[in-house]
Amino acid sequence: MALVLGLALFATCWFIHLIVWRIHRPQAYPIWLPAIFFVLPLLGAIVLNLYPIPLFQVKSLELDCVKGVLLHVMLSCSYICGYAGIIEYSPTAEILFVVDRHMPAGISERALNVDSLTECSLTGKRVDHLVAAGVTKLEEGRYALTQTGKFIACLSKKYRTFLGVAGIGEG
């Protein structure tokens, strides 16, 4: 029951997400995705609570409902985090696609040129995102961190220190 409920809840939310995206893909997906995957089911639960349905009155199913909701939350968190990999074009993936096109002979590292990605679509695009999100700011021709950016940098460093790896990743 928990497995079916969790998967059904996630699948329903994902179908609503597909319909919304097909009508008009929103730019503010960090707001839309949590709204679809978390707020909508919560509203649904509130509405269902107002109209008692015999199935949900069965005490023995309460734990299954909790486990089902837990699975839905984990699946939704994974999907929302993984969505960045869908909306952004991973350089790692583009490298593999280029190597795949040259199989079985392969390609030398020197000849590896990922034409699908440009400076503008890599560093440039990310810098624009960070400025638009208020994480970095441009002052007198130099990029600096805002308070939000400093918090993110500090959090990342502390996380990596706890994990036992170098303070800054390789990027």
Partner 1 sequence: MILIWILLLTPVTTFVSTAIIIRIQKFSLDQVSAQNACFLAGLMNGSGILIVSLCLELKKGNHDPIAIASLILYVFAFMFCVNFLNWFIYALTETSMHIHIVALIGHYGSLSHDELYSLYNKNTIITVRIPRLLQLGQLKRKDEQLVLSGSWVLMGAIGCRILRRILGIPTRPELVKRES
Give residues 74-133 in contact with partner 1 (rule: CB under 8 A). Answer: 74-75, 77-78, 81-82, 85-87, 89-97, 99-100, 103-109, 112, 114-119, 121-123, 126-127, 129-130
The smaller minimum CB distance to partner 1, of residues 39 and 96, is found at: 96
Q: How many residues belong to the chain?
A: 171
* Residue 35 binds to partner 1 (criterion: CB under 8 A): no
By CB under 8 A, the count of residues binding partner 1 is 82
Tokens describing residue 131: 């400025």
Cα–Cα distance, 171 to 164 (Å, whole number): 17
H/E stretch holding 139 reads: strand 136-139
Tokens describing residue 117: 């990605």
- Minimum distance from residue 4 beta carbon to partner 1 (Å): 8
- Long-range contacts of the stretch 137-140 (C-beta < 8 A, 24+): none
Pick the stretch among 30-38, 45-53, 72-80 that binds partner 1 (CB under 8 A).
72-80
Pick the stretch among 37-45, 47-55, 60-68 that binds partner 1 (CB under 8 A).
60-68
On whether the CB atoms of residues 91 and 117 are closer than 8 A, the answer is yes
